[in-house]
Amino acid sequence: MNQHRFCVAPMLDVSDRHFRFFARQLTRGARLYTEMVTTGALLHGPRERLLAFDDAERPVALQLGGSEPGDLARAAQLGAAAGYDEIDLNCGCPSPRVQRGAFGACLMREPALVADCVRAMRDAVSIPVTVKHRIGVDREESYGFVRDFVGVVAEAGCEVFVVHARNAWLDGLSPKENRSLPPLRYPVVARLARDFPSLVFVLNGGLRSHGEALAQLDRVHGVMIGREACENPWMLADVDPLYFDRPAPCAARDDAIDAMRPYLQRQVRAGEPLRAVVRPLLGLFNGLPGARAWRRTLSDAAMLERHGAGVLDIARGEIRA
């Protein structure tokens, strides 16, 4: 089975362990990704907290940010020892902070260095090492640029490339604008898949519906959806039937709430902030009557403090009322 047929994107300040646990209640087949974790934070910071995840989240990939092969190798070892199923190298983030660290999208200009990083990580761990990248940097839009990047990195042993089908404009745009303003060019990713038939290509960028995503699977091996899965998480309940020919874990939104209740109780007992645990559920009823009441209750600090783990039932009751 193609393990990357449907992936949920790594999203800063979104795809934390609570989001991933909730996503896993809606789909068993999707491949989940962490937020990007820098090698500096992992090697010198609170690594246990940064690497923490529930075994129920698997298959789950750890996305690393860095550009020093030795540091990435050590960070990959920590991720593999923690139980992650894949290590992904971020070569697509355009934020100024990431650029100052000399990694992210600017690494596309140094394919030999990326190859060294991939080689070092593959030598250090037995789990797959993948790369997430853009199709170009700034106004460099030639196909040869991304083709040569993929070719060099593939020679280091990378077999899976997750491609955000936009250029990264490193000057003048915010990270949010970089997710929408550079034009999408899906045919570039399809061409990569044709030109490198032994590799796996996952298309990312601009996909907002299953219809759009499924249409791309004639040209690429997998798709990755990010913001839509965050804003409208119930879309993930359709993933298993549509992409993996298996029943959905939850037939209704109430099933998802029931699945999250024991987790919520465990996290509260462990001292985790309740607001952080319920945040991934805010969009569960988006587009339906009562969605605003649901979000309001789960965002209300006084309600969270008063009801604790029972706030899910309070919020659900307001929708029914």
Task: For residue 5, give Cα distances in angstroms to 94, 126, 245.
Answer: 25, 22, 12
Residues 191, 192, 197, 200: is their CA dihedral positive or negative? negative
Q: Pairing mode, if any, of strands 6-8 and 37-38?
A: unpaired
Contact 203, 212 (CB under 8 A): no
Separation between Cα atoms, residue 172 and residue 64, nearest integer Å: 25
Residue of 91, 93, 106, 230 marked active site:
93
Separation between Cα atoms, residue 221 and residue 208, nearest integer Å: 18
Amino acid present at 12: L
Indicate if 93 belongs to the active site.
Answer: yes
> Nearest CA to 9 among 37, 36, 42?
36
3-state secondary structure of 265: helix
Tell me which residues are annotated as active site.
93
